[in-house]
């Protein structure tokens, strides 16, 4: 495997194997090897029927990778609901037949380890695990838990907790680093969507192992990424202690294409960074919790652009007048946070290019937006950015929003008019207007929604949609059918990404590569 060549960490990648039959497990083991896994976790509790003597021999003999056997009981979140002695006997048998690792739960670990004392094969290791499906305890409680696990005679400690918010993961990182100092191998994972970064960043903090699934959607615990994403999207093998962490702060954040874009770009220029999705509920708490300069820069998206601005030590004048940032950089010398807004640059230049293209205006002329009526749908961070940018280029700006008061407030700030979203249906002071949707109306999964009825689109010469998933929204499709030039959100996305990449890395953005990557979506 090519992915084996560059390794900046010793963290192993384990593929959980869950199947109802031994035959299916054997097939999945081969898939796991092909996908780049270092070992497999064989979940015996997923088998519909299990004959320990025969099946363990087959599984160990047929497996092309080192094996970890887990026989998880119902009381620890697994599927086994039978006799406890039979369960532990099967694990002891796996050890005798040549398993590399077995996982036993903290509750039964002491007596289990005593029962195999003096019988352990040389390279065989016992992982003692504790799973908390409710929350992530304090650092002190986690420290005590690790000590309790060690006292049972564990070779490797495993703790899995649940993230109620992304700040919980920081405590698991702290415990992982602390365990390095006392040289105890530790697997420390935070389950759930808010714990996702624990699975990607564990090699940075020295975790023993992370889990990646062989197919998407088939997980053995909530929030598991696929092996393919870990290796090829997040470049897992190249994450080391000195890797800088960047990411997108949003809610939701799963739809974002930013990780694909930045990670591929980082790799292409040899920049030691990783870019991850941060599902954040409270921005101020997130930025206070991850205050190390290793967390070096953030893209901000809906709904956090305004709150992120308040957390910055300094804000560039454009972002200040917009009242929103979409990029926060942490200065490496003192950790101070600087806020920028690159949204409007990407969007406005894409709209100008669209207008120039449709009227063959030379690029050297004044902005084709000068004197145009420019309708912005939405009064949030992105709406402010576009309104500000259009005004700066000499357009007359009208803000349309569901609630009139928010539209009025923004219109007063930048010097423009305000209408409600419902008013747009019959809004037609002039022909050849420009429309810019900055709300999430029409974004996946609600692709059949649109902010404005089709018959009203004939009054516009150009329609822009900040939504870029899907690339052609219902709004853009209907605008094109009505004869307008359309500009998709991916143009805005690329434009702001160039500038963010340069702020993150201090290197020129690989523009050709960015376009090539975006073309795949």
Q: How far apart are CA 230 and CA 235, in angstroms?
A: 6
Q: Residue-wise over 292-326: b if at least 16 C-beta within 10 A, else e? A: eebbbbbbbbbebbbbbbebbeebbebbebbbbbb
206 pLDDT above the threshold of 70: yes
Q: In 3D, which of 248, 231, 241, 214 has the Cα closest to residue 326?
A: 248
- Catalytic-residue membership of 359: no
Closest residue by Cα to residue 311 from 293, 285, 273, 292: 285
Stated pTM of the model? 0.87
pLDDT for residue 319 is more than 80? yes
| pLDDT for 151 | 95
Q: Are 459 and 433 in contact (CB under 8 A)?
A: yes
Average pLDDT over residues 228-238: 96
Confidence of residue 318 (pLDDT cuts 50, 70, 90): confident
> Given 45, 55, 168, 343, which residue is catalytic?
343
Give the chain's mean pLDDT.
Answer: 93
Give pLDDT tens digits for 261-287.
Answer: 999 999 999 999 999 999 999 999 999
Strands (E), 203-294: 209-211, 244-250, 273-279
- The residues pairing with 274 across neighbouring beta strands, listed in sequence order, are 245
Quick check: is 242 catalytic?
no
Identify whether 305 is a catalytic site residue.
yes
Residues 76-112: pLDDT tens digits?
A: 999 999 999 999 999 999 999 999 999 999 999 999 9
Q: In what order do the strands lie in the sheet with 314-315?
A: 273-279, 244-250, 295-300, 327-330, 337-340, 314-315
Q: For 39-62, write each residue's pLDDT tens digit.
A: 999 999 999 999 999 999 999 999
Predicted pLDDT at 358? 66
Instruction: Compute the distance between CA of residue 49 and CA of residue 215 in angstroms, rounded to an integer.
Output: 23
Which one is catalytic: 305, 384, 391, 393?
Answer: 305
Catalytic residue among 100, 103, 158, 393: 158
**Chain segment 157-200, per-residue pLDDT in tens:** 999 999 999 999 999 999 999 988 778 899 999 999 999 999 99
Neighbours of 118 (CB within 10 A): 4
Q: Is 158 a catalytic residue?
A: yes
Q: Which is the catalytic residue, given 33, 45, 103, 131?
A: 131
| 298 bridge partner residues | 247, 328
Separation CA 335–CA 451 (nearest Å) = 41
Show the beta-strand stretches assigned E in 343-395.
Answer: 373-377
- Return the pLDDT at 4: 47
Residue 3 is predicted with a pLDDT of 43
Contact 503/296 with Cβ under 8 angstroms?
Answer: no
Neighbours of 182 (CB within 10 A): 10
Quote the pLDDT of residue 370: 95
Section 403-432 average pLDDT: 95
């Amino acid at each position: 495997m090519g992915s084996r060549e560059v390794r900046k960490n010793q963290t192993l990648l384990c593929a959980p194997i869950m199947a109802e039959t031994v035959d299916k497990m054997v097939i999945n083991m081969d898939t796991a090897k092909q996908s780049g896994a270092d070992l497999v976790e064989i979940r015996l509790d997923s088998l519909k029927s299990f004959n320990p003597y025969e099946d363990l021999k087959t599984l160990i003999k047929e497996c092309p990778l080192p094996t970890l056997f887990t026989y998880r009981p119902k009381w620890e979140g697994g599927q086994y609901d039978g006799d406890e002695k039979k369960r532990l006997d099967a694990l002891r048998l796996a050890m005798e037949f040549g398993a590399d690792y077995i996982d036993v739960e903290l509750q039964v670990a002491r007596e289990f380890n005593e029962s195999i004392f003096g019988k352990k094969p040389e390279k065989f290791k016992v992982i003692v695990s504790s799973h908390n499906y409710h929350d992530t305890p304090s650092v002190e409680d986690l420290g005590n838990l690790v000590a309790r696990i060690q006292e049972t005679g564990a070779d490797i400690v495993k703790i899995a907790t649940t993230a109620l918010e992304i700040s919980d993961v920081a405590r698991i990182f702290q415990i992982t680093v602390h365990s390095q100092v006392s040289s105890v191998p530790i697997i420390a994972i935070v389950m759930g969507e808010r714990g996702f970064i624990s699975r990607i960043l564990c090699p940075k903090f020295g975790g023993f192992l992370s889990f990646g699934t062989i197919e998407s959607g088939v997980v053995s615990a909530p929030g598991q990424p696929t092996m393919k994403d870990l290796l090829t999207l997040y470049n897992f093998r190249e994450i080391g202690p000195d890797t800088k962490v960047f990411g997108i702060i949003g809610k939701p954040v799963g739809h974002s294409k930013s990780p694909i874009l930045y990670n591929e770009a980082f790799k292409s220029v040899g920049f030691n960074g990783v870019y991850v999705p941060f599902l954040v509920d409270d921005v101020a708490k997130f930025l206070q919790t991850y205050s190390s300069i290793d967390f070096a820069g953030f893209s901000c998206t809906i709904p956090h652009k305004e709150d992120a601005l308040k957390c910055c030590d300094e804000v560039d004048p454009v972002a200040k007048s917009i009242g929103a940032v979409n990029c926060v950089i942490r200065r490496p010398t003192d950790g101070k946070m600087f806020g920028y807004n690159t949204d409007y640059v990407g969007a406005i230049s894409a709209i100008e290019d669209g207008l120039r293209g449709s009227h063959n205006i030379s690029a050297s002329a004044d902005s084709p937006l000068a004197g145009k009526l420019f309708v912005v749908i939405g009064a949030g961070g992105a709406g402010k950015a576009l309104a500000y940018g259009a005004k700066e280029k000499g357009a007359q700006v009208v803000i349309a929003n569901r609630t009139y008061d928010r539209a009025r407030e923004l219109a007063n700030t930048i010097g423009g008019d305000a209408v409600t979203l419902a008013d747009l249906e019959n809004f037609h002071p002039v022909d050849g207007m420009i429309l810019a949707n900055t709300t999430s109306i029409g974004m996946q999964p609600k692709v059949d929604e649109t902010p404005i009825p089709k018959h009203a689109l004939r009054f516009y010469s150009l329609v822009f949609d900040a939504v870029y998933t899907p690339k052609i929204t219902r709004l853009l499709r209907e605008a094109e059918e009505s004869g307008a030039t359309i500009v998709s959100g991916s143009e805005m996305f690329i434009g702001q990404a160039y500038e963010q990449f340069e702020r993150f890395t201090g290197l020129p953005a690989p523009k050709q590569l960015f376009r090539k990557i975006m073309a795949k979506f």
